Structure 1
């Protein structure tokens, strides 16, 4: 029979315990833990959610890894063609973790209307293009298919559509330059069949997606030539090791670049959320721990006579400490229970109904505050908080060893 647990259970269940002087302080300690776990859950869920959302948007239009020519071209235009006759195309089976590879090309142009003009980059895609990534951002119309004959159908962003007063089904003219300034520029007519909104302005204000054949014809490329390859992975966390394997499997004249290198500023920005989240977790655990330490000290003071009696009957200091640690474990568990119920409830509501939105979507690249809920971090957070608070309570429980049985029994 674990008599320490038995005594702790009797203390918790007694009416005097619930109406004692320490009761309000204990409730404050439980509330502090509950509030702490709510804040930590929200911080982690929104931090990871925002990271994933921004990352998904950048990856959707660029891939996880880009395979380019080994040159110094820093522009948004494909200048040197790459042959699609490669051992790694159309399936990159030699590297585990590669989900899809596709050939694309880009060319700078200017959309011209009767009253306005706008510079854009036409992203040419072919039959191998995976539209599933872009489909999530489509707000009007449909996605085109580029197979066989040359297609004039394009997908543009709502940003460009609003600036140029375009609507679904409109046709417009785009001018593309040639190598020589003296040559007459290319003119192409396109029809809008779809409008997307990624929320990532660097993408929305720049790219228009169309048929790869247009760029191949303007650049006088063969059908087997593209500007670069985009590689998509199954798991973003394996980006660096897979990129190293992809680099090893590509010819020496080709270079590989990860999405983190291509958009270094954006990824450095979203990594800051990790530091903020760690800081919030540390502060919340410390605050909850301090409140529990206060509650335990008051509880010990209130039960001084009981401590003296237990010691007089032969209980060791550790046995008496265990009684109060069992008690504290119950209180911590109660705080975690309420914190998880409320915190996960709020996160579920936000995930399903998108109640909270960013006041400035352009600054955060998303309009709705994203939420990511995973059983993994929920379990780790609860276990970590529980043991952190319990370890902090070992320190104040040392005061029990200083209590003399004779003086404690006389204590009033």
Structure 2
């Protein structure tokens, strides 16, 4: 009966490779070379892990800071005459209900100037309030606190601006808001807080104040009030208008019919003329349709004590520069942008963080090239080290190869034997490199051992972000390249002639 030896012979190269890498390797004079090659592979893998974790961590930290100043996606008005949006709860609910959206907040910004006794700096003034995004600012506070509704004369500026303006916490400073009906309006505020993110380009540009100041000074809407005199006369007062406005007086009579009144202008008007009416409504609106000011309303209602005024509180309260949208997954920015845009009213648009700061993200993208160069160099060095080591191993085992060939082993089996021996060495190097690399990055992630100068690097410690899928993919590709490259030096074993090898041994 003929025995099937195909299975045995197919595993023979691996078994011999395992024996050569095991007990026999300890007595081999090529052992130091193998150890050096293993160390080289391990060092390369450790550097690949560290480089990818640091670069991805740096990209993530800087991106989060940029997003903290401006969000992933901003919703803006595309109307050149009305560069603000009307706060719309329906739109907010529509956007926040999307799976990819984490949160949505109104934002309020104006260009401005900050003036101290000696210095004047151009800044972006951003409003903060109960509904605005403040997480980044609160996490970056060094001194003081974020302004609240009870501290409406307070502002927060960066440590960089504080030094440039030669100010201290509690100092008074004048902020000029540029724009609105009057062009430029000053507001004296108190330095109530100091923040520092390390992103100096943004730290030197952003100042935070209560949102109500921006809403009022931006000229996004009129504010109407009615003063009722002791003689029962109603006189309209208007704030926030630099151009003529019109006054529309309407009454609601005893049978709940709306009746236009013959009153013209701000008054005063005699309320005795509307005796018996349920209410009087005043709408103050810009006289010109093209003006960017929104109308405001005041209601007058009779009571036992006489007529009382109930103002809406100013149309500016319901306006904002736009909305800030924060996403759960930054990688789907383009898809999320299209979905949000489709949910917006006519005349509204979107702008992604990539469009807000293209130069910053172009630079961050170029950092990937550094990682790719490091990976390429480490793989090349590993291949060179392993090629040298394998050639030395083949040279040492030359007589053994001759004997194996004399006993009937084919050239292909000899080649595979040395190939598998090289693969085992590479695998050992990868294992050691992973242990060292992950130990180093986890140590840095947990302790922040290596410190940095934020003025030069934007962050105060070396940031770490471990992307296991990315590292696994890179290591798999590197392993395949290194292993495939070993066929070339292993091919040298095929040129060994049994007679010459055995003669050399004798």
Pick from 75, 89, 92: which aligns with 2:92? Answer: 89
For the residue of structure 2 that corresponds to 1:122, the secondary structure is strand
Offset at residue 274 of structure 1 (A): 0.9
Q: Which has the higher mean CA deviation after the structures are superposed, 327-336 or 96-105? A: 327-336
Which structure shows the bigger proportion of residues in helix conformation? 1
Matches within 5 A, 1:272-283: 272-283=366-377
Deviations 1:176-230 (A, max 9, x none): 345566x8x5333333343211112221111112221111111343211101111
Tell me the CA shift for residue 236 of structure 1. Answer: 0.8
When residues 238 and 327 of structure 1 are mapped into structure 2, their CA distance, relative to the original with a 3 A threshold, is same
Instruction: Report whether the alignment pairs 1:32 with 2:35.
Output: no
Residue 110 of structure 2 contacts residue 218 of structure 2 at CA under 8 Å; is this kept in 1? no
Residue 337 to residue 192, structure 1, CA distance change in 2 (3 Å): same
SS of the residue corresponding to residue 27 of structure 1 reads helix
Does the 8 Å contact 1:104/1:126 carry over to 2? no
- Superposed, 1:239-250 pairs within 5 Å as 239-250=333-344
Q: 1:42 aligns with which of 50, 54, 79?
A: 50
SS in structure 2 opposite 1:88?
helix
Question: Which has the higher mean CA deviation after the structures are superposed, 288-297 or 306-315?
Answer: 306-315
Instruction: Indicate which of 292, 308, 319 corresponds to 2:386.
Output: 292
Asked whether 1:394 is paired with 2:487, we answer: yes
Structure 2 partner of 1:102:
105
Deviation, 1:19, is 4.1
State how many pairs are aligned.
401
In the TM superposition, what whole-angstrom CA distance separates every residue of 1:277-328 from its partner, at most 9, and x where no partner exists?
1111111101111110111111112112222222233333333233222221
The residue aligned with 2:211 is 212
In structure 2, the partner of 1:76 is none
Per the TM alignment, residue 71 of structure 1 is displaced from its structure 2 partner at its CA by 5.4
Task: Supply the distance in 2 between the matched residues of 1:180 and 1:67 (Cα, whole angstroms).
Answer: 24
CA gap of 1:280–1:323, structure 2 versus 1, over 3 A, is same
The answer (yes or no) to whether the contact 2:155–2:189 under 8 Å persists in 1 is: yes
Higher deviation after alignment, 39-48 or 347-356: 347-356
**2:451 touches 2:461 (CA, 8 Å); kept in 1?**
yes
Q: How far did residue 144 of structure 1 move? A: 3.7
Q: Map residues 11-410 of structure 1 onto 2, 5 A cutoff.
A: 11-15=20-24, 17-70=25-78, 80-85=83-88, 87-90=90-93, 92-93=95-96, 95-146=98-149, 151-177=152-178, 179=180, 186-220=185-219, 221=221, 222=315, 223-358=317-452, 361-410=454-503
> Which digits, 9 at most, give the CA deviation of each residue in 1:216-267, with x for residues without a partner?
1113432111011111101111111111111222223122111111111111
Distance 1:285 1:114 in 2: 59
How far 1:90 sits from its partner (Å)?
Answer: 4.7
* Correspondence 1:7 to 2:16: yes
Q: TM-score, normalised by structure 1?
A: 0.88
Greater mean deviation of Cα atoms: 378-387 or 209-218: 378-387
Runs of 4+ in structure 1 displaced over 6 angstroms?
A: none
Measure the CA separation in 2 of the matches of 1:145 and 1:378.
45
Measured after TM superposition, the shift of residue 393 of structure 1 is: 0.4
Deviation at 1:339, TM superposition (A): 2.0
Distance 1:94 1:117 in 2: 44
Cα distance in 1, alignment partners of residues 492 and 398 from structure 2 = 11
- State how far apart, in whole Å, the 2-side matches of 1:123 and 1:376 are: 39
Q: How far apart, in 2, do the equivalents of 1:71 and 1:291 lie? A: 64
* Alignment deviations for residues 336-368 of structure 1 (CA, whole Å, 9 cap, x no partner): 233223323332333334343445x44543343
Please give the alpha-carbon distance, in whole angstroms, between the structure 1 residues aligned to 2:180 and 2:320: 18
* SS across alignment from 2:486: helix
Contact 2:95–2:343 under 8 Å retained in 1: no
RMSD: 2.5
Q: Of the two, which has the highest radius of gyration?
A: 2
The answer for unaligned runs of 5 or more in structure 2 is: 1-7, 222-314
Question: In the aligned structure 2, how far is the partner of 1:178 from the partner of 1:340?
Answer: 57
What SS is found at the alignment partner of 2:91? coil
Structure 1 unpaired stretches of 5+: 74-78
Q: Which has the higher contact order (CA 8 A, sep 6+)?
A: 1
